[in-house]
Chain A
């Protein structure tokens, strides 16, 4: 892994599918060596942005650049040595073992004649150890529990050995214990190995606790970004999610903790106010 700080940024980015524009004129600089969380309501363009950062989606206008080079000008394999992406809920073929999955993470480092070097073997060994999947190596991925499966996929991305790692909702479909398990693992990867991580998260409180930098998106635009304590305020949450809430302090991590108000459980006064648009939301 290169020790230089990766510089991933987007300038004047326009993204969309067919005739639907999702992101229009977005600028972004990913803080190197930190964990960045992108939050926002459903369909606000956060996954679309992440896909563009990973070159899975070509911009209509503007560009994403890595270390000063436009992403689309970097050869595919070279980019895959610098930047890894784990899409949301990937599916492994039936019967594929964890070790076979993690081995595939080394593909960008392999050639016809150099298919499996000592370095590949070491990287896979380390990735299994870092994600706690060493004991699962010979199990089939589709037989694992949700949390184990997600750790196996992360192990694949870790074995890829990229300085930048993008994760699209790595905690989806996991129960709370496994969500925390995966997020702790993400912090390990960042602190131990200095990887730059960008992830899309649904849970605001988890974003506040696990990210150094939070980007709040609404309708394809960045509404606010910065340290969690600066970004996640009652006003921003109401603006971004259309949800009234109170923000206190997480007693464990001392980061912002969002408590939604909703329509039914607050003692006063807004049970009679009909203009309230916000739906109750589980956060």
Chain B
């Protein structure tokens, strides 16, 4: 077990190292990142000064080492637009993103697990058919379109919910619904399939035969045993939610990390962009690591190799 954890930890560290290379290279894709850093009206002398200040006159490997040394010290560079260290700027926006993603998670897990269980209880029934169509639709609707439609219907026409800002829970409803939509489809499918697997088992048949109420069989016997893939997928969906938050936050003017990142991209604030991508990636890696451990904990039959 300890060996397994250490091994996964080692793999995660290598992944983070790989991410640092990709993030570093992203800003240099255009050839000269300096052109992204300086304002167009800068003089030649100013350009050279900035070039030296960012060590961009050094060879690439050396630049990378400088970057990594900074990152290891927690120094991710300075935002050009805000003229402040980039990392605190990103971390300050992180809670808002996590709040939105959590709300979306609650919505998608709530609906997805309920519909999935009901579908599996009666395969081919109307809940199942409706659920299947819903899941198909869920994975085909663009999040940004759904966001706009939600704003049009519930914000503009019906005036039930505000369409931008983040002060109260009412602000959370529309963005969370738009963001959670896609995950709801995935949760429905995996719950249905996990439940169908379990419902076929002998102990479920026994529970039925001994006269247990069908509701109890499903909630107490089946759902508990089907929970492993469901919990795993739920954690992985959290990653998808953080990814999708980029678009949702932009549409609903939600003050999270995703919108900060998109704004920074348009402002050509590359240190800030790099930091946001890096922080989001670390979140990904950490979640994956946690899922692996959780999976092993929930299912002792999984061999640690």
Q: Do A and B bind each other?
A: no
Q: Tell me the B residues contacting A by CB distance below 8 Å.
A: none
Q: What residues make up the interface of A, taking CB atoms closer than 8 Å to B?
A: none
